[in-house]
């Protein structure tokens, strides 16, 4: 084979590879119609009739459902079994970073609007302070009840939006707030999310109707300053479990994200490059085109 023909074959192979990558990047996923509201509790029983889709890079399994009010998402994370040879750690540092889900009704991917779903661990007093800061009035009896447990797991939903974005005017009828729940069982983690379709009076909704196509982006994991601090303090174990972090997750906001989202790990000591390359601390991002179902389906 001549040098010219070898170059041509290489070009063809590269073109085929890029075409395959393009197809993977534009993956279309059909949502199934949900006849009634789903329970967001981290229990997968209601998803038994759904066909899971696998993200090749992270090996996360997921599925979509929707009714006329909400989009429902389930994501299943399975840690690699010893001896399997797999280097994909789907959960990565999800317990630290939370899951960002972006959405747009245009054909172009955009991170302008989304929701940060995060599981945080608070001490009893920190939880009381947080609740009061958000305007809740707690009686002494309620505070005493909270203090019966030294720490509490709290599921939070933070709306991500441009700084000057304004929500459309109107009432909130027919719109539910975003919510998520998660259950971890050893190597298995089940996460359920609810995102409202309606964007009336809130920016935490998609602004879509049943039958539409939308873009969904999923972003989680990676190295953060907090993980490095916990490592240096001897609090982060091999699987980066939430139970080993004490109250560290009270500070799990976007300004601590390393690698471009307000964080800086350059001054955290040597060896950070090796940690970044460790698959247990890998950052994952993928996008899909989701076709919302209609009742007629």
Taking only the tens place, the pLDDT of each residue in 85-116 is: 666 789 999 999 999 999 999 999 999 999 99
pLDDT of residue 74: 97
Taking residues 266-288, what's their average pLDDT?
73
Is 253 a residue whose pLDDT tops 50? Answer: no
Are 191 and 99 contacting, i.e. CB atoms less than 8 angstroms apart? yes
pLDDT of residue 39: 92
Q: Residue 102: inside a domain, yes or no?
A: yes
Per-residue pLDDT tens digits for 238-251: 444 444 343 344 43
Q: Residue 77: inside a domain, yes or no?
A: yes
pLDDT of residue 229: 83
Is 1 a residue whose pLDDT tops 70? Answer: no
Q: Residue 186: inside a domain, yes or no?
A: yes
Q: How far apart are CA 161 and CA 178, in angstroms?
A: 14
Band (pLDDT 50/70/90 cuts) for residue 54 is: very high
pLDDT of residue 248: 41
pLDDT of residue 173: 59
Q: Please classify residue 5 by burial: count the beta carbons closer than 10 Å to its beta carbon, then call 0-12 exposed, 13-18 middle and 19+ buried.
A: exposed
Lowest-pLDDT range, 63-67, 82-86, 94-98, 206-210?
A: 82-86
Q: Residue 3: inside a domain, yes or no?
A: no
Q: Residue 208: inside a domain, yes or no?
A: yes
Which structural domain, as residue segments, surrounds residue 113? 27-291
Q: How far is CA 2 from the centre of its chain?
A: 50
Closest alpha carbon to 227 in 196, 258, 250:
258
Is 273 a residue whose pLDDT tops 70? Answer: no
Locate 94 and state its tokens.
């999800």
Taking residues 246-260, what's their average pLDDT?
37
Q: Residue 133: inside a domain, yes or no?
A: yes
Beta bridge partners of 117: 99, 157
Q: Which residue has the higher pLDDT, 221 or 233?
A: 221
Is 270 a residue whose pLDDT tops 80? Answer: no
Beta bridge partners of 287: 217
What DSSP string describes the chain?
A: --HHHHHHHHHHHHHHHHHHHHHHHT-EEEPEE-SSPPP-SS-GGGGTTSPPEE-TTT--EEEEEE-SSEEEEEEEEEPPPTTS-----TTTTHHHH-EEEEEESSSS---SSEEEEEEEEEEHHHHHHHHHHTT----HHHHHHHTTSSEEEEEEEEEE--TT--PPPS--TT-PPPEEEEEEETTEEEEEEEEES--TT-SSS----TT-EEEEEEEEE--BHHHHHHHHTT---TT--GGGSTTGGGG-SGGGBTTTBB---TTS-TTHHHHHHSGGG-EEEEEEEEE---TT-
Per-residue pLDDT tens digits for 133-162: 988 999 999 999 999 999 999 999 999 999
Q: Residue 63: inside a domain, yes or no?
A: yes
Q: Which residue has the higher pLDDT, 223 or 13?
A: 223
Domain tally for the chain? Answer: 1
Q: Residue 101: inside a domain, yes or no?
A: yes
Band (pLDDT 50/70/90 cuts) for residue 174 is: low
pLDDT of residue 81: 72
Is 69 a residue whose pLDDT tops 50? Answer: yes
pLDDT of residue 85: 61
């Amino acid at each position: 084979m001549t040098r010219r023909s070898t170059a041509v074959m290489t070009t063809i192979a590269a073109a085929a590879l890029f075409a395959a990558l393009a197809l993977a990047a534009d993956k279309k996923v059909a949502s199934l119609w949900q006849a009634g509201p789903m329970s967001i509790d981290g229990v997968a029983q209601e998803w038994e009739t759904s066909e899971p889709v696998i993200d090749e890079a992270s090996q996360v399994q997921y599925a979509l459902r929707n009714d006329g009010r909400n989009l429902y998402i389930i994501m299943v994370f399975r840690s690699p079994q010893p001896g399997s040879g797999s280097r994909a750690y789907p959960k990565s540092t999800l317990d630290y970073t939370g899951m960002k889900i972006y959405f747009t009704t245009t054909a172009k991917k955009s991170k302008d609007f989304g929701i940060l779903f995060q599981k945080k661990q608070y001490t009893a007093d920190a939880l009381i302070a947080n609740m009061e800061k958000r305007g809740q009035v707690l009686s002494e009896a309620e505070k005493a009840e909270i203090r019966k447990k030294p720490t509490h797991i709290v599921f939070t939903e933070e709306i991500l939006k441009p700084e000057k974005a304004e929500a459309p005017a109107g009432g909130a009828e027919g719109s539910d707030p975003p919510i998520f729940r998660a259950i971890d069982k050893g190597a298995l983690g089940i996460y359920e999310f609810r995102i409202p379709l309606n964007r009336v009076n809130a920016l935490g909704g998609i602004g879509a109707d049943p039958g539409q196509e939308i873009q969904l982006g999923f972003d989680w994991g990676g190295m953060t300053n907090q993980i490095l601090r916990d490592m240096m303090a001897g609090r982060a174990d091999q699987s980066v479990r939430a139970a080993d972090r004490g109250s560290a997750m009270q500070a799990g906001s976007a300004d601590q994200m390393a690698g471009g989202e307000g964080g800086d790990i350059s001054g955290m000591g040597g060896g950070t490059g090796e940690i970044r390359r460790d698959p247990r601390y890998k950052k994952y991002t993928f996008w899909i085109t989701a076709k919302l179902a209609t009742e007629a389906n």
